[in-house]
A and B are shown apart, each in its own frame.
Chain A
Amino acid sequence: GEDVEQSLFLSVREGDSSVINCTYTDSSSTYLYWYKQEPGAGLQLLTYIFSNMDMKQDQRLTVLLNKKDKHLSLRIADTQTGDSAIYFCALSRDYKLSFGAGTTVTVRA
């Protein structure tokens, strides 16, 4: 199976950068994703990266993929209070997603 691991909590000061990390065991995934979940809501796709890419930037979001180390990260620049949420790393294989347990990001003033 595709074991996906994330650190559980991250606290960051408003205006600083946040870095959320994810490691995985199965390297055959085609796409890797970052989802955001706010309280009481479903998951929202933030960004994704194709497995043959090393980096993808989308406004304040930067995704880095290290296939050798099976490590995926999400950097949020200029973190805002609205970024407080749970962030899930997910891997896709055969149109199915495997999720990590999520990282709870708390933005403090």
Chain B
Amino acid sequence: EAGVAQSPRYKIIEKRQSVAFWCNPISGHATLYWYQQILGQGPKLLIQFQNNGVVDDSQLPKDRFSAERLKGVDSTLKIQPAKLEDSAVYLCASSPRSSYNEQFFGPGTRLTVL
């Protein structure tokens, strides 16, 4: 089965610019997650979707970050405007509804803000 797809793989922007990331989860996975992984740290959950509804966005900086999953499949994460501290790898993961919650991760998008 195809894995979690993300694009672009790399993005370089200047501060105050906008950027968007795209994720296509594994077919049939109802739950989708966006994580931010800053260099040298573990991934930190930004937002969790169940189908097209938001389950948890408590760690999402809502003044500049937004995410949507309109049809319950693909998702986009947007940053507007970007700050230097947003430089990180943005990981998308999806999960079937299982007892042990295995999450399948995409390769990530590496964002550099100059």
* A residues adjacent to B (C-beta < 8 A): 4, 31, 40-45, 48, 50, 88, 90, 92, 95-102
User: Considering residues A40, A41, A96, A101, which has the most beta carbons from chain B within 10 angstroms of its beta carbon?
Assistant: A96
Q: A42-B4, A95-B48, A96-B45 are in contact. Are A101 and B40 (CB under 8 A)?
A: yes
- Chain B residues lying within 8 Å of A31, measured Cβ to Cβ, are 100-101
Q: A42-B91, A42-B108 are in contact. List 10 more A-B contacts (CB 8 A).
A: A42-B106, A43-B93, A45-B104, A88-B42, A88-B43, A95-B31, A96-B45, A99-B42, A101-B41, A102-B42
A4, B42: Cβ atoms under 8 Å?
yes
A99, B100: Cβ atoms under 8 Å?
no
Q: A42-B91, A96-B45 are in contact. Are A48 and B107 (CB under 8 A)?
A: no
Count contacts between A and B, CB distance < 8 Å.
53
Closest Cβ of chain A to B95, distance in Å, is 8
A90 to B44, CA, bound (A): 11
- Chain A residues lying within 8 Å of B51, measured Cβ to Cβ, are none
A106 to B48, CA, bound (A): 33
A27 to B79, CA, bound (A): 35
A100 to B108, CA, bound (A): 18
- Chain B residues lying within 8 Å of A90, measured Cβ to Cβ, are 42
Closest Cβ of chain A to B29, distance in Å, is 13
- Chain A residues lying within 8 Å of B91, measured Cβ to Cβ, are 42-43
